[in-house]
């Protein structure tokens, strides 16, 4: 089973995924723009809207891809809630690093221009842990076990 994360942005998907690719490496396995869609009757997209990301996927490892898109209000249904940046208050992506150096690298890179809730530090559960929101409004947690710790 694969468990992937899908992020929505409003005009920032390309910048966000270029940023994430600089941290995680690799190449996009998919990148489609709204302008790549077949013409649809009644859907008139501006040149700016056509340049936005319809879907992008960045493989992180053989089991995980980070995916995303720019929300386009013209394609939303009446039941779709309006996009509000950073409104995913109770959803975070958790990265489990296997080495302290990697945990530090991920924290320093992903938190650039973001808001740190808890800096990377040792915890009572025997791990290095950090919580923060990146510059694109996505919440992250990093956890790196320092020793065998049972619950």
What CATH number corresponds to the domain at position 101?
Answer: 3.10.180.10
Predicted model pTM: 0.77
- Residue 53 pairs with which residues in a beta bridge? 33
Greater confidence (33 vs 87) lies with: 33
**Within this chain, do residues 65 and 101 fall inside the same structural domain, yes or no?**
no
**Within this chain, do residues 95 and 69 fall inside the same structural domain, yes or no?**
no
With bands split at pLDDT 50, 70 and 90, how would you rate the model's confidence at 4?
Answer: confident
In DSSP notation, 48-106 reads HHHHSEEEEEEEEETTEEEEEEE--GGG--TTSPPP-TT--TT--EEEE-SSHHHHHHH
Query: Looking at residue 81, what is its pLDDT?
Result: 63
Q: Is residue 71 domain-resident?
A: yes
pLDDT at residue 151 above 60?
A: no
Tens digit of each residue's pLDDT (9 = 90 or more) over 128-137? 999 999 999 9
**Within this chain, do residues 18 and 61 fall inside the same structural domain, yes or no?**
yes
**Within this chain, do residues 106 and 139 fall inside the same structural domain, yes or no?**
yes
**Within this chain, do residues 33 and 73 fall inside the same structural domain, yes or no?**
yes
Query: Looking at residue 53, what is its pLDDT?
Result: 95
């Amino acid at each position: 089973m694969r468990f992937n994360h899908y992020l929505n942005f409003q005009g920032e998907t390309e910048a966000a995924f270029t940023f994430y690719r600089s941290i995680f490496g690799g190449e996009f396995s998919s990148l489609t723009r709204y302008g790549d869609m077949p013409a649809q009757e009644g859907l008139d997209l501006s040149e700016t809207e056509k340049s936005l990301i319809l879907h992008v996927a960045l493989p992180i490892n053989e089991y995980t891809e980070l995916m995303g898109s720019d929300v386009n209000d013209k394609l939303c249904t009446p039941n779709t809630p309006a996009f509000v940046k950073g409104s995913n208050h109770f959803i975070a992506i958790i990265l489990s690093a296997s080495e302290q150096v990697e945990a530090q690298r991920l924290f320093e890179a992903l938190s650039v221009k973001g808001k740190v809730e808890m800096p990377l530090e040792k915890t009572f559960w025997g791990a290095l842990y950090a919580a923060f929101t990146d510059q694109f409004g996505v919440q992250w947690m990093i956890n790196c076990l320092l020793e065998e710790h049972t619950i």
